[in-house]
Amino acid sequence: MRSATIQLYMKQLAWLGAVLLSILIVASRKHYTVDVIVAWYTVYLVIHFINHKLSKGEIYCSMENTGPIHTFHANKHHPI
């Protein structure tokens, strides 16, 4: 139970740090406010996609025969 409590505090600290850094980035005029808002939205969508789509195995990726690079069979010496 103790590690769950520590994990919760670490997560809360990370969120607080992220919010504080977002405010400091806007305050330092390095980015517009809309840039920071779009970044938060994008990160949320990417994490949601990874946790809910990729963890369930709904998306399959094959590196065979994709793109201009030729692949070779083990028994043949010419490209497919």
Tens-digit pLDDT profile for residues 8-58: 899 899 989 999 998 998 999 888 889 888 988 998 888 888 888 776 655
Beta bridge partners of 79: 72
pTM score, two decimals? 0.54
Gap between the Cα atoms of 56 and 67, Å rounded: 26
